[in-house]
Structure 1
């Protein structure tokens, strides 16, 4: 009996240590504006992005700027390594998309894009990841978006903005509700995607949890909502409005959760109708 108690205590201690360690280098990304408008084509613009680390330590991070349709599908255009909150400059930087060559730089928390063109009217994502490997990589990573509007270019503004509750601590075996609100949801935010991660070292793959997708059929009037849970989340996850409700919490449920609001595909708004926001859940 005593041996079992020692083993049980050790297991509990491991859980507690894991929870504490998970919070130390947690990253949170912040953008001041959801949308930035250039004065005219050919203008220089600045997109602001800052981040914080829960421990307060100034550890080097890699800042990657992406463009496109949400965290899962956006493509990298620029990468800055060795960035710190004190120096606010890159140790190395690389332009990953030739269309931005010679026009892009990140320092002092600003991405400067010079001589903007109509094709620069995109949904930009600021991704910050802690440098070096870690067992808590999804917590040491975050990203937020800002739309750049270029006048006279078939301008597309930012249609949706997603707001998610702050990080939380949940109890093993219990249930949790992660609140999510998609602003302007009555007009443009028909589809909701919940997912977790990233789950790979390249920060590109995620585990789907639950989706609500709007279907539109040309042969019949109206639209139809399709609800689906995935993998280990079946029979445990449901939507409450746009929020996620999960029962029978497991230790593996700890990590970074994303609520993504999207405009229904049949409306053809694309990346300007997509926004996502993350929150971290610890299980104790």
Structure 2
């Protein structure tokens, strides 16, 4: 039997609002146990010599410790978002140290790349001068495990191959770092995904989420900051914007991404990539952060009304440390403006993202 606790709160003179103390019942399909993929590389930069062989080391672990079948995919290029597939291996398990099938996708590397000694590491032999690039080792769960675990079931790390030929060596690259690889927050909170860049060419910043589809290397763009600095004196910002559902909620603080009014579907893997789009021969670097989003809670919040980040036609009421989920009348949305006369109003009187009011 479901028991509801009903509380009368006077929000306006003579108006009594009844709230049921029931938890937020919004949910999505989730596995019994979350399986997070973590990829590691022993050497993020490898110095190679033309006509000799080299190994790009890569390994992985699953948070549950299981040895499940995985897909190993190696990409090359500036960051996960723009890289192209060069090698793939399906059905790999550490116990068997073999792939059920494998394929080379880059004709320039045909006959020169393979997996080394039953590991995800990539052997390149002989090395060519134009192999100088970022190589990305992506490991993903397969089948239903990938469907259930989504973006956290996929991870990748980069290995920069610096190719030497005689006295010639490529320019110094830069390194991207994140302060935490896993961050936990709650619906409605504000969170900062911290990212830094050290080295040369730390100019252009891309934040994206995914991969949405590992097989096609698809990602959702969150925020882009690009500048032009070779066309004349000084630097000119050419792009500084959030995309899609992050408009009005995502901003940059240095290289870090700030997300306000966190939604439940914001959960997933975010990538901080820093590059120099005007020096295409210089590899970029990127690191990822896994964001876990818990349901809204009144714990630690002062009594009052809070918008439902997942549903503009609802809101939360915090009273005495308890959480009450309220619904607005049909055709109205919650108005977060402290000066608003009505808690819920027509969209024309409510500022974005829930309304259309223009200041």
Equivalent pair of 1:194/1:244 in contact (CA under 8 Å) = yes
| Maintained 8 Å contact 1:170/1:281 | yes
- The number of aligned residues is 273
Among 78, 91, 94, the residue aligned to 2:87: 78
Q: Which residue of 2 aligns with 1:130?
A: 141
- Greater radius of gyration (CA): 2
Report if aligned partners of 2:34, 2:149 keep a CA contact under 8 Å in 1: no
Alpha-carbon distance in structure 2 between the residues aligned to 1:23 and 1:280: 16
Query: Residue 281 in 1 paired to residue 291 in 2?
Result: yes
- Residues 77 and 96, structure 1, Cα contact 8 Å, conserved in 2: yes
| Paired position in structure 1 for 2:196 | 181
Deviation at 1:252, TM superposition (A): 0.9
Counterpart in the other structure of 2:119: 108
Corresponding residue number in structure 1 for 2:174:
160
- In structure 2, what is the Cα distance between the partners aligned to 1:191 and 1:44? 33
Instruction: List 4+ stretches of structure 1 deviating above 6 A.
Output: 3-7
CA distance in 1, matches of 2:42, 2:196: 18
TM-score (norm 2): 0.70
* Runs of at least 5 residues in structure 1 that lack an aligned partner in the other structure: none
Contact persistence 1:175–1:245 (CA under 8 A): yes
Q: Contact 2:207/2:222 (CA < 8 Å) preserved in 1? A: yes
CA distance in 1, matches of 2:90, 2:124: 18
Q: Does 1:215 align with 2:228?
A: yes
Work out whether 1:251 is the aligned partner of 2:287: no
Q: Does 1:26 align with 2:40?
A: no
Inter-CA distance 173–238: structure 2 relative to 1 (3 Å threshold):
same
Q: How far does the alpha carbon of each residue in 1:197-236 deviate from its partner, in whole angstroms, 9 at most, with x for none?
A: 1223534221111122112473x53112342111211111
Greater relative contact order (Cα 8 A, min sep 6): structure 1 or 2? 1
Contact 1:147 1:158 in 2 (8 A): no
CA distance 1:199–1:70, shift in 2 (3 Å)? same
Shift of 1:50: 0.7
1:237 is matched with 250
Give the whole-Å Cα distance in 2 for the aligned partners of 1:271 and 1:73: 14
| Cα gap change, 1:74 to 1:201, in 2 (>3 Å) | closer
- Contact kept? 1:88, 1:109, Cα under 8 Å: no
Q: Any stretches of 5+ residues in structure 2 without a counterpart? A: 6-19, 295-359
Residue 252 of structure 2 aligns to a residue whose secondary structure is strand
Partners of 1:280 and 1:181 lie apart in 2 by: 16
Partner of 1:97: 106
> Quick check: 1:28–1:52 contact (8 Å CA) kept in 2?
yes
* Cα gap change, 1:89 to 1:144, in 2 (>3 Å): same
Distance in 1 of aligned mates of 2:160 and 2:90:
23
Where 2:212 maps in the other structure, the secondary structure is: coil
Within 2, Cα distance between the matches of 1:271 and 1:71? 16
- Root-mean-square deviation (CA), in Å? 2.6
* Kept after mapping to 2: 8 A contact 1:43/1:116: yes
Q: Residues of 2 paired with 1:145 and 1:201: CA distance?
A: 16
**Does the Cα contact within 8 Å between 2:208 and 2:271 map onto a contact in 1?**
yes
Aligned mates of 2:95, 2:140 — CA distance in 1: 16
Matching residue of 1:195: 208
1:78-114 C-alpha deviation (Å, 9 max, x unpaired)? 1111112333332322111122222211133421111
Seen in structure 2, the aligned counterparts of structure 1 residues 99 and 214 have a Cα distance that, compared at 3 Å, is same
Gap change, CA 1:221 and 1:121, over 3 Å in 2: closer
